Structure 1
Amino acid sequence: MLQNNSVLKSKIDQLWNKFWSGGISNPLTAIEQITYLLFMKRLDDLDLKRISDAEFTGEEYTSKFAGEFTLPGTDQKVDKQTLRWSNFRRMSAEDMLNHVQLRVFPFLKMLNGEESPFTHYMKSAVFIIPKPSLLVEAISTIEEIYAEIEKDADEGGQAFQDIQGDVYEMLLSEIASAGKNGQFRTPRHIIKLIAELVEPQLGHRIADPACGTGGFLLGAYQYMVTQLDKNKKNIQPDEDGFIRNSVSSLLTNEVSGILNDSLFGYDIDVTMVRLGLMNLMMHGVDTPHIDYKDTLSKSFTESNQYQIIMANPPFTGSIDKGDINESLKLGTTKTELLFIENIYNLLKMGGTAGVIVPQGVLFGGGKAFIEARKILVEECQLKAVITMPSGVFKPYAGVSTAILIFTKGGETEDVWFYDMKSDGYSLDDRRTKLDGYGDLQDIVTQYKMRDRNKDSDRKQKYFFVPKVEIVAGFYDLSISKYKEDVFEEVVYEKPVVILTRLKTMESEIDKELNELEGLLG
């Protein structure tokens, strides 16, 4: 969507530039402060909409701005109505900054009650916009961004929440520190692809043990919401060919409650936890369960908890050997291997995972690499290995990756491989949207129609490999080991024909040189 809306993209760039020139040059700090403002705006808009909807439907709804708010550490009470974006945005610059710093932000931090994960991880959050002028300019630009979102939603038919999500995801993509410690933001179209393959259902417990800003949890949420309306004919595919929505006429309070209790995320960066919480809340998940935890450490004791896991764990780096969870038996400190075993442990029997790994995991010859792959093949039903081109994670990294789809406790008879050549975007640092969907929709179609009796031609993009062959090859899962190269026969002209052509060309060159010599006298 953003690729087609230069006005919206320009306004987002303006917002970044205002923060940069206003003295907040660290991209991660800037995105956190911008997120707080977006969250204040969205909180007001959603609350007013829910009040209106409740009046229309007759359902009960208690406004988040009803009553008074006692400022922490004081006896002073303020009318919550004054904390609405629509109210404080009309204040003078000095009064607005003072009001947001001392009243609105403390209210925001306590939004879901003292015992909620959101409040817990917002305790250390600080509102650090230093200048009244920067706050006024930022609020004005955000208002313009939201006006453009509404216009785009009206003209393009896309849900407002989805466009807002695109905007927020674009802001998140600007975090310059992405890629640190092997943490790369997963492109949204790859998240949608994995959700389509693992098919999370209403009532499933769904987790991401290294969730970052919550992209996979949001992808699962949107997939499930879309399924509520899947029989409607007026939902159009997005730019990647997927049908997605964040809102539904069937999203009742009861269904929303089930969805709220379905999504669980963990991360070792408190800032990412806060961003993830707000990301989900801005998309309608009122009480997301995202916690600050290292799921590889001894302090994390969960197992056999989830029906679905979607994850893109850190690709590189290692963990302190003394802090590795004792349930992890691979005997390595490499996080990309430990997460495979950890995800296996977290899945319930019969649970399914869609996990992104560096392609080195598929063929590494070390003992821990082989043992990790053995878990996938011997203790799971390894359903698919989908290799992706190296540009998918640019501009953060050029590492080649693959998607693993596996079900805990099933039996692997053979493994379906797919060699993705294009994800619908250019594979350079710009990642420009190309015409069509690349291989995305073909992967979904072929995966759901896969047939071991038909998908046997290893010269094609996709094919099955029997387990016995994989085991014999030390559980090697690299597609290059099994795919047969296609060599096209090149027919050359006979030497006598080539020689005749060369003589003709030489004669023509001599003629041209003689004419040139004559002209020069």
Structure 2
Amino acid sequence: MVRKTKNEMPKTTAQQLGSLIKSARDIMRKDKGLNGDLDRLPMLTWIMFLKFLDDMERIRETEEELAGRKYKPAIEPPYRWRDWAAKEDGITGDELIAFINNDEAVRPDGTKGAGLFAYLRSLHGANGGDRRDVIATVFRGTINRMVNGYLLRDVINKVNSIHFTASEEIHTLSHLYESMLKEMRDTAGDSGEFYTPRPVIRFMVEVTDPKLGEVVLDPACGTGGFLVESFEHLRKQCKKASDFEVLQKGSITGGDAKPLPYLLCQMNLLLHGLEYPQIDPGNSLRFPLREIGDKERVDIILTNPPFGGEEERGILSNFPEDKQTAETALLFLQLIMRKLRRGTGGKRGGRCGIVVPNGTLFGDGVCARIKKELLEEFNLHTIVRLPNGVFAPYTGIPTNLLFFERDGPTKEIWYYEVPLPEGRKQYTKTQPMPFEEFGPVIAWWKDRKENGHAWKVSAAKVVESGYNLDIKNPNGKQDLEHLPPEQLTESILKKEQRIAEIMAEIKQVLADGIK
């Protein structure tokens, strides 16, 4: 008899779930209303979302009945998954499409009423902030793009075979779901969306070290990578029931204005165990900075805001006149600075880890004025310079991780340049940066000493340079890819001048030889 190891998944859990999701996606590929993976992914997501909710409702309903309490479901009959989706021979074809899409339709119980999506969008919690509000917000940004009701019934039947009531299946599905997110990221990279590699996220969360009771925010959360990793980090600190209650109520917050990432983030967090994700579906930059007070401030911000892009004039007017810019990353940096909690009464100030493009380090004008405020009012204690290709294939722009706290002005800045492995010129999509490459940085973080990859610079030196944070490793070789444009141009001109001088010398030697 072969004994299974503790971590070995039964075939009926891991392999069956994988094949179920694959076959469901294969079915959707036959539907003429779907054009690509970005259409199929939200399709699967909202279906799994409703199945997951119904399974969770069943568990809570049983718990409340055992406790002698009446349970009020988030979704009422006949709109629960069990009412319209669970039966293999249930409504199908045009009838199914009409029930899902139309504002008014014949419901599975034969009565007339609001269609499924219309009903879900109308939900609202008694006091706000509960699961019904999450459901309503999710479906306000969701459209059913599948037009063939018979193929849709096949997909629903496949998903119905997944039982979210089993903890092992939820764990397995969360990994399968993240692989789906990766496919979406790979496709979205061509349209200018940059998603943060998991090793970078894990490193930033580990060194920022959120503590239970602190509030973590990602104002540009995308599919929720930083929030999921922060949630897992905080969950490890929970020892008793009250700890889990603290974790569930307001510890994890985020925002993303795009419907698809918003939906994916909600599902991702739900699958990892966050019962009521607090994700804002609006543009995080829409509020005037001056109106953000202490109540809106948080303990920790971890984020990778969009690089480049342009915001409408109405958004720019939310920022000080001398700091208005079309560079989205700089707008988010100002928002973050405003949103971090002040350190008062011996309490630690808010802290941030943010991904920024290299241009933020050496930028002048508006960028320099923002960095001036950053150094004067925050402690920019660490800049980690990432190696080439970490964000491949989305962008080849050199990137940096800035870590700062709201606990007084900057006195000195530590730099750490993460090297490429020997023999590598850059990371690629097929050979990405593994988390293990951050091991030396993590070891150095708590006991900082200068070495071949780490050095420190006084804030006074940065001020003298016009707030240029693009300071090279004094112990390393010059990397032209990280030079500001003016220095790069000067370097090229000097080299060309030297080449011309050498060519002139060679020409003279040849001329002398001929004589």
Q: Does 1:62 align with 2:71?
A: yes
SS of match in other structure, 2:233: helix
**Residue in structure 2 matched with residue 122 of structure 1 by the alignment:** 139
Flag structure 1 segments of 5+ consecutive residues without an equivalent.
70-77, 155-159, 230-249, 487-521
Alignment of 1:40-79 (within 5 A): 40-51=50-61, 62=71, 64=73, 68-69=76-77, 78=78
**How many equivalent pairs are there?**
433
Alignment of 1:153-172 (within 5 A): 160-172=169-181
CA deviation map 1:423-462 (0-9, x unaligned): 9x9922234686xx43223322321x233xxx123x2x23
C-alpha separation in 2, matches of 1:135 and 1:163: 24
**Residue in structure 2 matched with residue 209 of structure 1 by the alignment:** 219
Query: Does the CA-based 8 Å contact 1:388-1:402 persist in structure 2?
Result: yes
Q: Does 1:19 align with 2:28?
A: yes
C-alpha separation in 2, matches of 1:309 and 1:202: 15
- 1:219 deviates by 2.2
- Deviating more after overlay: 295-304 vs 264-273: 295-304
CA deviation map 1:70-98 (0-9, x unaligned): xxxxxxxx38573375x334636547666
C-alpha separation in 1, matches of 2:261 and 2:69: 33
Query: Does the CA-based 8 Å contact 1:382-1:404 persist in structure 2?
Result: yes
SS of match in other structure, 2:323: coil
C-alpha separation in 2, matches of 1:149 and 1:400: 44
**Residue in structure 2 matched with residue 351 of structure 1 by the alignment:** 350
- 1:263 deviates by 2.6
Q: Does 1:275 align with 2:264?
A: yes
**Residue in structure 2 matched with residue 255 of structure 1 by the alignment:** 244
Q: Does 1:113 align with 2:107?
A: no
Specify the code of the residue in structure 2 equivalent to 1:113. Answer: G
C-alpha separation in 2, matches of 1:54 and 1:149: 16
Residues 474 and 79 (structure 1 numbering): CA distance in 2 closer, same or farther, change over 3 Å? Answer: closer
CA deviation map 1:45-64 (0-9, x unaligned): 333344566678x5968363
SS of match in other structure, 1:480: coil
C-alpha separation in 2, matches of 1:79 and 1:16: 24
**Residue in structure 2 matched with residue 324 of structure 1 by the alignment:** 316
- Deviating more after overlay: 199-208 vs 29-38: 199-208
**Residue in structure 1 matched with residue 44 of structure 2 by the alignment:** 34
**Residue in structure 1 matched with residue 305 of structure 2 by the alignment:** 313
Query: Does the CA-based 8 Å contact 1:357-1:403 persist in structure 2?
Result: yes
Aligned to 1:336, which of 314, 324, 329? 329
Residues 289 and 149 (structure 1 numbering): CA distance in 2 closer, same or farther, change over 3 Å? Answer: closer
**Residue in structure 1 matched with residue 470 of structure 2 by the alignment:** 478
C-alpha separation in 2, matches of 1:202 and 1:485: 42
C-alpha separation in 1, matches of 2:153 and 2:286: 44
- 1:109 deviates by 4.2
Aligned to 1:373, which of 361, 371, 374? 371
C-alpha separation in 1, matches of 2:284 and 2:79: 41
TM normalised by structure 2 equals 0.72
Q: Does 1:394 align with 2:392?
A: yes
C-alpha separation in 2, matches of 1:18 and 1:214: 28
Aligned to 1:302, which of 289, 292, 308? 292
**Residue in structure 2 matched with residue 510 of structure 1 by the alignment:** none
SS of match in other structure, 2:235: helix
Identity %: 25
C-alpha separation in 2, matches of 1:485 and 1:387: 14
Q: Does 1:427 align with 2:410?
A: no
Residues 181 and 409 (structure 1 numbering): CA distance in 2 closer, same or farther, change over 3 Å? Answer: farther
- Structure 1 vs Structure 2 CA RMSD: 3.7
Specify the code of the residue in structure 2 equivalent to 1:167. Answer: L
Q: Does 1:190 align with 2:200?
A: yes
Flag structure 2 segments of 5+ consecutive residues without an equivalent.
1-6, 8-13, 102-106, 108-114, 343-348, 479-515
TM normalised by structure 1 equals 0.71
